[in-house]
Amino acid sequence: MATDRDIAVLIGRVALRDRAAFAQLYSHVAPKLFSVCLRILKDRGEAEDALQDVFVKIWQRADRFAATGTSPVGWLVAVARYHSIDVLRARRPSADPLDEDWQIEDPSADPERDAVLTGEGKRIDRCMEELDSDRAAAVRSAYVEGLTYQELAERHSVPINTMRTWLRRSLLKLRECLDR
């Protein structure tokens, strides 16, 4: 069994694009990372696919591992865990199907409420127009279609953290606009 120091050295070599170190790292930690993926996803095939994606991320992000103060195995497990959670989120349906028998009893039953909702809808539309078009599209996709950060990042060809920043800042701008 490799020690934390051995794993940290291997991650450092992987950051330098050393394929032999990557193969060694895989042989040392793949079983543990697979068990993390399997425990979260509860599907062997999906866990195997997730493990492959995790190792692609490790190859791409090994240079972000800071050996000082961070457990190398903990970092690897976190990569596997967060990726598996993203897979779970992507698996969720975006909305519940509506019952075909569902009907509104009487849409004119509360005209005051209807007027308030219409006014609010117009205010929201006006505030959405103040956002950049790509940010507004991301907000709509996230909160109307229910897309995950990962799906939005892929759709807009930006890193996932950039997408998180877009959404957070857009929501702050919307709140500011609606408070006026």
Q: What is the pLDDT of residue 112?
A: 65
Structural domain includes residue 160: yes
Q: Based on the structure, what is the number of domains in the chain?
A: 2
pTM assigned to the model:
0.51
Integer CA distances (angstroms), 153 to 31, 76, 92, 108, 167, in order:
29, 22, 17, 41, 11
Is pLDDT at 68 greater than 60 in this prediction? no
CATH number at 81 reads 1.10.1740.10
The answer as to whether 103 is a domain residue is no
pLDDT at 158: 92
Q: Quick check: is 37 in a domain?
A: yes
- Asked if residue 8 lies in contact with residue 67, where contact means CB atoms within 8 angstroms, the answer is yes
Counting residues of the chain whose pLDDT is more than 70, the rounded percentage is 82
Is pLDDT at 151 greater than 70 in this prediction?
yes
What 3-state DSSP class applies to 12? helix
* Residues 15-36 pLDDT 10s: 999 999 999 999 999 999 999 9
Domain carrying residue 30: 4-91
97 assigned to some structural domain:
no
